[in-house]
Amino acid sequence: MPAPTQPALGDEQAFALHERYGAAAYGLDREQFAAILRDIQSKYLPLASPNEAADFCGALRLEELALARGCAAGNDRAWQDFISHYRNKLHAMALHITRDAAHAAELADSLFADLYGVNTRDGVRHSKLVFYTARGSLEGWLRTVMAQEFINRYRKQKRVVSLDEQEEEGTQFVAVNSPPVTPSDVRLEAATDEALAELSSEDRYVLAAYHLDGRTLAEIARVLGLHESSISRRLDRVTTTLRKRILACLRERGMSHAQAKEALETDVRDVHLDLWARLAQDSGAKAFPGGKVPAPGAGTDGTHV
């Protein structure tokens, strides 16, 4: 039988944190608080030494953790504090995310219900605040949870299209999605994958956020905690490096420089074909010289008969 392992976070340290951050005010006793801290520490830092565990727990937002867990446990004072601090903020967050007052109110109320725990299991109310682990601020966590909820709702609603709307738009049935166009040369795909794999995670994130998600430089900069100009320079550098690296990988796969450049630059999806100009060019002599259409009853030279 294995000997019981000593918890990384000692009782004394946990009790000191309990007292220091006033968890008792929200109805949490020392043992409960210590158990919560050990759960969080074992989740994120399972193999931590006692010192590492103490440092980790000391860096958590313990005051907000006590508030959240007090709310989850149904403490009245905790709920009073939570409502006074976060009720209005929830609406403001929802408005920022949805950009629509009606949807914002619906989203905020829905999240508030989840936080309160309207769903009961075995007669016990389950609050979403149990999942808050104080790695970041409670306000930030609420904003993240709300963003997740908003995306989930958006996806659900996106799948549902009302028949009335379809009829109004004249759509009788949904067209089958066309299969993706495969590149003509698999070597180009492999070379691109290889070049992308050589990028650092942050460079790849910048590339994806800018080119795929359409984020602005300012938004990316705020996420990464950098200045906008740094992101701009990095994006230029990554784009240039990536192009060079893909060309090099294509040459390694047996292409000449000209072939590699042609393969990269003449991808069929990069060709901007002006069909109108081409059609006009192929039509030979103009049907109506001068661009004027003769009026009915007029002669070939434009004079009335």
Partner 1 sequence: MSDVPKIVHDRLRAGAPGAAHPDADVLTAFAEQALSGAEREGVVRHLSRCADCREVVALSIPPMETIALPTADREGVPAAGTSGGGLRAWFAWPNLRWAAMAAAGVVGVAVLTFGPGKQHQSMVENVSQRAEKAAPSSDASAKPVPPLVDQAMLPAANPAKPDTSLAREARASRMIAPQPLRAQSQAATDSAAQFADQKRADSLESKGNFSSEAKRLTPQAPAARAARVNGGMVASEQPEQMIGSSRETVEVNGAAEVVQSAPTEERLTARNELTPPIEKAKPAAKEEAQLKAQVPDSGTQNKLAATYSNSDTAFALQKQRSTRSKDVAAQWSLAQGRLQRSLDAGTTWQTALQLQHPLLSFGARGSDVWAGGQAGTLFHSTDSGTTWSMVQASTKAESLSSDIVAIEVRSQAEIVLSTSNNESWTTIDAGKTWDKK
| Residues within window 125-164 making contact with partner 1, judged by CB under 8 A | 131-137, 139-141, 143-148, 150-151
Q: How far is the CB of 82 from partner 1 (least distance, A)?
A: 17
Q: Is 242 in the site for partner 1 (CB under 8 A)?
A: yes
| Interaction of residue 68 with partner 1, rule CB under 8 A | no
To partner 1, the closest distance from the beta carbon of 286 in angstroms equals 36
Least spacing, CB of residue 41 vs partner 1, in Å: 13
- Residue 17 vs 260, nearer CB to partner 1: 260
Q: Which residues contact 196 (CB under 8 A, 6 or more apart)?
A: 204, 242
C-beta closer to partner 1: residue 21 or 150: 150
Which residue in this structure is represented by tokens 């060309």?
247
Cα 200 → chain centroid: 19
Part of the chain binding partner 1 (CB under 8 A), chosen from 77-85, 91-99, 162-170, 252-260: 91-99
Tokens matching residue 50: 């006692």
Give the residue, chosen from 230, 251, 259, 261, that forms a contact with partner 1 under the rule CB under 8 A: 230
185 CB-near residues (< 8 Å, 6+ apart): 263
Q: Does 267 bind partner 1 (CB under 8 A)?
A: yes
CB of 157 to partner 1, least distance (A): 15
The binder of partner 1 chosen from 30, 38, 153, 215 (CB under 8 A): 215
Asked whether position 192 contacts partner 1 by CB under 8 A, the answer is: yes
Binding of residue 55 to partner 1 (CB under 8 A): no
Instruction: Identify the H or E element spanning 201.
Output: helix 201-207
254 phi and psi, to 5 degrees? 100, 5
Query: Segment near partner 1 (CB under 8 A), from 74-82, 161-169, 222-230, 289-297?
Result: 222-230
- Residue from 265, 278, 298, 302 in contact with partner 1 (CB under 8 A): 265
12 vs 211, which CB is nearer to partner 1? 211
In degrees rounded to 5, what are phi and psi of residue 288? Answer: -125, 95
Which amino acid is located at 154 in the chain? Answer: Y
Identity at 148, one-letter amino acid code: Q
Q: CA gyration radius for the chain? A: 31
Phi, psi of 170 (to 5 degrees): 80, 15
Q: Which residues are bridge partners to 298 per DSSP?
A: 304
**Cβ proximity of 86 and 138 under 8 Å:** yes
Contact 255, 246 (CB under 8 A): no
Judged by beta carbon, residue 196 or residue 248, the one nearer partner 1 is: 196
- Which range in 74-82, 85-93, 251-259, 272-280 contacts partner 1 by CB under 8 A? 85-93
The rounded distance, in Å, linking the Cα atoms of 231 and 220 is: 7
* Residues 60 and 134: beta-carbon distance below 8 Å: yes
Q: Please list, residue by residue across 115-138, b when 16 or more beta carbons sit within 10 angstroms of its beta carbon and e when fewer do.
A: bbbeeeeeeeeebbbeebbbeeeb
Q: Shortest gap between Cβ of 236 and partner 1 (angstroms)?
A: 7
Q: Which span sits near partner 1 by CB under 8 A: 110-118, 159-167, 241-249, 251-259?
A: 241-249
Of 24, 48, 73, 105, which one interacts with partner 1 (CB under 8 A)? 105
Least distance to partner 1, CB of residue 97, Å: 5
Q: 11 or 202, CB closer to partner 1?
A: 202
